[in-house]
Structure 1
């Protein structure tokens, strides 16, 4: 079991030593500051692994064992309606939380803020879940990505926008966001 715990640390050590050799031999393509930044990240990960202490793992706990407020908070982090609906099928409590009008109102505002059309029932009440699916039929949902690619005009590199070590005086003015479709289009002839 101890050998299994050391596998991630060994992988990071191998990665950092290989990267050091490649940097030393000037084999890598791109800005040297970017590669040094990546090496610093790897070294930071190694330190985090060394400092990591896992005490006792409690088995048998499930999502439903969390307090209702935490379960609700988790549901409010989803941006996909079908994920919310499917999670609502897990337990009756999750179903009640997944039907929360505030949750569906937030989804409507997130995906369709500028296109919102009120769908009002006979009682004057807005059914936000119904509105979400009605708007989804008429308008595309907002594209959402965990992180987007960017192109730096100064460094001439493509990177994930996570602390790009650009040497420009004003690096934010050098960045051009690259959508997934635009990235795919780069490879079309």
Structure 2
């Protein structure tokens, strides 16, 4: 059945010239809203001028548009009259700057619905570049970058590559400002070097001009990473880690979820080295990452092991580690929308009374599905 509208042909897209190239106007409209914490982090980053040549613009989203583009944006829309109109209104986004970061996707293509999910558009609509500065979302985004760089880099479009390198640059600025997660930045840069060195016929795939721009971005990231230096707290800061009681230090170690962090902590000073060798530390680490059935399988039905550290490494090699994120992308089953759980999204259920009646007896928690990084990439043709 053909799509019936005022014009059977596709209306096309409206594009806007920006400092970083041509961008779709609907993406710019969706990216206008930046939460207060992200704006504060952007302002903080603007102060670190010694780390590189960073332009102190107000925000990543707002610097896309000039004044003429902002004036031409839609300022008022008629209220939707049916479900399709509601979905279209939500997808276009409100023009008052209150749109929450979200991205509608096509779950299944049919004869009536033929859609294509663009990875670069999703990154911009979900405001990934500013989300890097949120400590709750940092690990999730770094995992996505890890998967893209190590497995999908040569399959990305030019626009997606540009967004990826911009996000990686934001990670470098965040690591430099926070003095944390330096090992994650080094891991991403190491994988990036390997992928570029292993490119087809000795050169990266894609436009030469585009990759010249990418290489300039990579050089900026490397200069930021080389300038990172861990600053120890001053003499006036008290108490320091060495001054904490042994019980407090043990509680700190019990909250580390990575064995590499434990091993690095053991090299810090003598108290930590002694505590890291305790069986309780490794026992609780095993119980955090693995189920009781998995632990029993490795034990072979025997009594609890005397060496939990070796048991942990056997379990890690056999089953892999559990991935835990403070916040994940969620999928709304009602409107097929990806969004950040703590921010929410403009759902079709909130605007359509018929949907509200259908979901009266439904558990609201089942309407939202957490999407791990590996599952997130499956929505796109990579």
C-alpha separation between the residues in 2 aligned to 1:95 and 1:153? 48
C-alpha separation between the residues in 2 aligned to 1:112 and 1:83? 18
Residues 119 and 126, structure 1, Cα contact 8 Å, conserved in 2: no
Greater Cα offset, 61-70 or 127-136: 61-70
**Greater RCO (CA < 8 Å, at least 6 residues apart):** 2
Please report the TM-score for the alignment, with normalisation by the length of structure 2. 0.35
Residues 151 and 157, structure 1, Cα contact 8 Å, conserved in 2: yes
Please report the TM-score for the alignment, with normalisation by the length of structure 1. 0.64
Aligned to 2:374: 181
Cα 1:130/1:157, change in 2 over 3 Å: same
Residues 100 and 344, structure 2, Cα contact 8 Å, conserved in 1: no
Per-residue CA deviations over 1:24-47 (Å, capped at 9, x if unaligned) read 936984676xx75859xxxxxxxx
Give ranges in structure 1 of 5+ residues lacking alignment.
1-6, 40-56
How far residue 120 of structure 1 moved from its aligned partner, in angstroms, is 10
Aligned to 1:115: 294
Cα 1:9/1:160, change in 2 over 3 Å: closer
**What SS is found at the alignment partner of 2:249?**
helix
How far residue 171 of structure 1 moved from its aligned partner, in angstroms, is 3.3
C-alpha separation between the residues in 1 aligned to 2:264 and 2:301? 26
TM alignment of 1:95-174, pairs within 5 A: 95-113=273-291, 114-116=293-295, 117-118=298-299, 126-162=306-342, 164=344, 167=350, 170-174=363-367
**What SS is found at the alignment partner of 2:338?**
strand
Residues 152 and 176, structure 1, Cα contact 8 Å, conserved in 2: yes
Aligned to 1:25: 75
Residues 329 and 371, structure 2, Cα contact 8 Å, conserved in 1: yes
Report how many aligned residue pairs link the two structures: 157
C-alpha separation between the residues in 1 aligned to 2:301 and 2:271? 27
Cα 1:9/1:97, change in 2 over 3 Å: closer
**What SS is found at the alignment partner of 1:158?**
strand
Residues 111 and 141, structure 1, Cα contact 8 Å, conserved in 2: yes
C-alpha separation between the residues in 2 aligned to 1:180 and 1:10? 25
Is 1:87 matched with 2:137?
Answer: no
C-alpha separation between the residues in 1 aligned to 2:294 and 2:365? 30
C-alpha separation between the residues in 1 aligned to 2:279 and 2:90? 52
C-alpha separation between the residues in 1 aligned to 2:336 and 2:323? 26
Per-residue CA deviations over 1:134-156 (Å, capped at 9, x if unaligned) read 22122211122222211112243
**What SS is found at the alignment partner of 2:268?**
coil
The Cα RMSD (Å) is 3.9
Residues 257 and 285, structure 2, Cα contact 8 Å, conserved in 1: yes
Cα 1:29/1:91, change in 2 over 3 Å: same
C-alpha separation between the residues in 1 aligned to 2:301 and 2:274? 22
